[in-house]
Amino acid sequence: MPVDVIYKTKATANGGGRDGAARSDDGSVDVKLVVPKEMGGPGGVGANPEKLFAAGYSACFLGAMRAVSSKVGVKVPAEATVTAEVGFGPRSEGGYGITADLTIDLPGVDRAEAKKLIAAAHEVCPYSNATRNNVDVGLTLA
């Protein structure tokens, strides 16, 4: 499906890929990359692609809820949060894959209304659209 691009950014990874560094072209993102112990690496302080994906997906989904809130008639409270948990592992078909589970907390919002808002956000969120039909994404209302 074509996209009418209104914004682009770049980031470059160096070193060993998962064991090196990544930096955005403007320097606003500049992270050390470390392979987690669970994946055979040294672990320690640093990011990895899954952490970066979790941060991006959670922020994007919260933004998507705010974007659709007036359309569905459900206000997003200022203290709303989205927590993304991203999993990584081998696929039965070969190669590796990821999973994503979003936990959405909408304090003070009626559960039925919250579910309506979450469903609408899941339809417009770019991360949800990018993962649809190829990544298991769970949505849980806290």
pLDDT tens for 104-136 read 999 999 999 999 999 999 999 999 999 999 999
Taking the C-alpha atoms of residue 138 and residue 102, their distance in angstroms, rounded to an integer, is 6
Taking the C-alpha atoms of residue 109 and residue 77, their distance in angstroms, rounded to an integer, is 8
pLDDT surpassing 90 at residue 1: no
β-pairing verdict for 96-105 and 136-141: parallel
β-pairing verdict for 20-24 and 30-32: antiparallel
User: Angle 49-72/111-124 helices, nearest 10 degrees?
Assistant: 120
pLDDT tens for 76-115 read 999 999 999 999 999 999 999 999 999 999 999 999 999 9
pLDDT tens for 18-53 read 999 999 999 999 999 999 999 999 999 999 999 999
